[in-house]
Amino acid sequence: MKWFFFIPMVLLLGLSFSCQTQSKNAMADIVFLNGVVWTVNPNQPKAEALAIKGNRILKVGSSSEMERVTGDSTKVINLEGAFVMPGFSDSHTHFLDGGFSLSNVQLREAKTPDDFASRIEYLAQELGEGAWILNGNWDHQQFDPPELPKKEWIDPVTPNNPVCVNRHDGHMVLVNSVALKIAGISKDTPTPDGGEILRDPRTGEPTGILKDTAMDLVTEHIPEPTLEEKMGAIEAALKRANSFGVTSIHDMSNTSNFEVYRELSDQKKLTARLYVYIPISAIDLLTGPEKRAFPQNDFLKIAGLKGFVDGSLGSSTALFFDSYLDDPSKRGLLVADMFPEGIMEKRLTAADQAGLQVAVHAIGDEANHIILDLFEKVMEKNEKRDRRWRIEHAQHLIPEDFERFGKLRVIASVQPYHAIDDGRWAEQKIGRERSRHTYAFRSLLESGAVFACGSDWPVAPINPLTGIYAAVTRRTLDGNNPDGWFPEQKISMEEAIRGYTLNAAFTEFAEHLKGSLEEGKLADVVILDQNLFEISPEKILDTKVVMTVLDGEIVYKN
């Protein structure tokens, strides 16, 4: 009889010990209380508190509910009404270039030829003879009147330094005479397919402006940065991204950059998750005899392949059905990835047969039409699957192509800031009617397209709040469109946030892991000092990041 009672007692004691252990293990590492939590989870859109255990979200709910997961060792943070949301994902960057741009010449705000030249002169003196002067991100639309810079502006201040500074869209560079000599470019140099060497109409001599594939004639002579220099640039870029609440980055990159990321990952120095695209011309590294093994984890993945159809609007290399108004002799051009004829279709077919994701740059309306045709052709040829193929920029579309995004389930990977930047001068180049369909966010959403947002950094600021501001206001940077440039294309705050969070996660097949604040998902969180849903639109740009949390760790604190 005693044994009868003893056995249940042992079981009860064991159960009690198990519950205590389980309860202790269920305690959060960090609890955030008394905030405004925007979850991007349609089943629980709002909350006021959040608990994190390890690298996962443990609980989302009210502040009182957090008492059950708060232990003696839990770090408790009173948000005092701050705004909490999923960490931002930037769906389109050139991340290493962005890192290097932080320490190179800054030309974006140069508004006169003298200012332009003096900034380059200052860096030349600082770097010393022989050093290349790079990056720059200049914008000739800042000049009054707008004009393309010339080598004569900078030759006098750079007699001993080669210069190759890019327009902010990355599709045009200015080089000086030293760089032209190194590259062997003269008035007799033929223009390569997919590019243009601008020449003086009187003399035939190069002006120093090279577009798209013509840029390669000089860039192939620029010394490759060392691994240490690249790592330093990436670490600087990561700090900049974290300071703006960015926790995931889609990098339009190359395989050599991936090696830098892998080294930083091995050293546990990645403070953002990187989803890396390599050039479509390198497809054999993922499919052919040269196929290489790349690490695939929650911090670092090869995403797929990035290709190009055309150039950019500002460089007049975006491909349109009709001519540019400011230069009727031009409609834009196809770039190197489209040559020889048929190569893009061949590579897309191979990528699809290998189950790879592709992301293809298309700006002009004809370029977008061409790539939609190719996507459709490949999709019809191969079996149905969840491709999540992307068009990067999707900037100008003819009306009948909008519905094709939804029909083909193509992701529109857009950069909203470009709309308020290009909107200052786009109508001068392509007219008002074509401009109606420029960065037509509302039309893309209504087509059924998945709408993912990014920056294109360093072409535009990496701060996602500038993109959200652009998407919901469409107020051009010159202040000339206070109600919005084509205001019918505005989107809501909720839609914009989703573009930088859950939709961005969807594009990388990771919506089950991140992009919303839900129990069990990765603990990637950003805390802002203002509620984006309650402030007036102009105050979006005044909003500051209070804290950035990645994988359950605080990586930035203001």
Q: Where are the domains of the chain?
A: 2-81, 112-219, 227-557
Judge whether 532 and 497 are in contact, CB under 8 Å. Answer: yes
| Antiparallel, parallel or unpaired: β 46-47 and 36-38 | antiparallel
| Tokens matching residue 126 | 């600082």
pLDDT at 81: 97
pLDDT at 22: 40
pLDDT at 24: 54
pLDDT at 497: 98
The whole-model pTM stands at 0.89
With helix as H, strand as E and coil as C, how does 337-362 read?
Answer: HHCCCCHHHHHHHHHHHCCCEEEEEE
Q: Name, in order, each residue with C-beta under 8 angstroms of 493's C-beta and a sequence gap of 6 or more.
A: 468, 472, 532, 533
Instruction: Please check whether the domain covering 227-557 is classified as CATH 3.20.20.140.
Output: yes
With left for phi above 0 and alpha for psi between -120 and 50, is residue 208 left, alpha or beta? left
Q: H or E segment at 498?
A: helix 493-499
Which residue in the block uniquely carries the two structure tokens 């690490």? 295
Which residue in the block uniquely carries the two structure tokens 């590492």? 29
Q: Would you write out the chain's pLDDT as a tens digit for each of its 558 residues?
A: 333 333 344 444 444 444 444 455 689 999 999 999 999 999 999 999 999 999 999 999 999 999 999 999 999 999 999 999 999 999 999 999 999 999 888 998 899 999 999 999 999 999 999 999 999 999 999 999 999 999 999 999 999 999 999 998 889 999 999 999 999 999 999 999 899 999 999 999 999 999 999 999 999 999 999 999 999 999 999 999 999 999 999 999 988 888 899 999 999 999 999 999 999 999 999 997 878 888 789 999 999 999 999 999 999 999 999 999 999 999 999 999 999 999 999 999 999 999 999 999 999 999 999 999 999 999 999 989 999 999 999 999 999 999 999 999 999 999 999 999 999 999 999 999 999 999 999 999 999 999 999 999 999 999 999 999 999 999 999 999 999 999 999 999 999 999 999 999 999 999 999 999 999 999 999 999 999 999 999 899 999 999 999 999 999 999
Please spell the DSSP secondary structure of 199-231, one letter per residue.
Answer: E-TTT--EEEEEEEGGGHHHHTTSPPPPHHHHH
Q: Is 327 helix (H, G, I), strand (E, B) or coil?
A: coil
Question: In the CATH hierarchy, which fold is given to the domain comprising 112-219?
Answer: Diaminopimelate Epimerase; Chain A, domain 1 (3.10.310)
HSE-CB at 264 with a 13 A cutoff on CA atoms is 26
Please spell the DSSP secondary structure of 401-466, one letter per residue.
Answer: GHHHHHHHT-EEEE-HHHHHHHTTTHHHHHHHHHHTTBS-HHHHHHTT-EEEE---BTSS-S-HHH
Q: H or E segment at 36?
A: strand 36-38
The listed CATH number (3.40.50.2300, 2.30.40.10, 3.40.50.150, 3.30.1480.10) that belongs to domain 2-81: 2.30.40.10
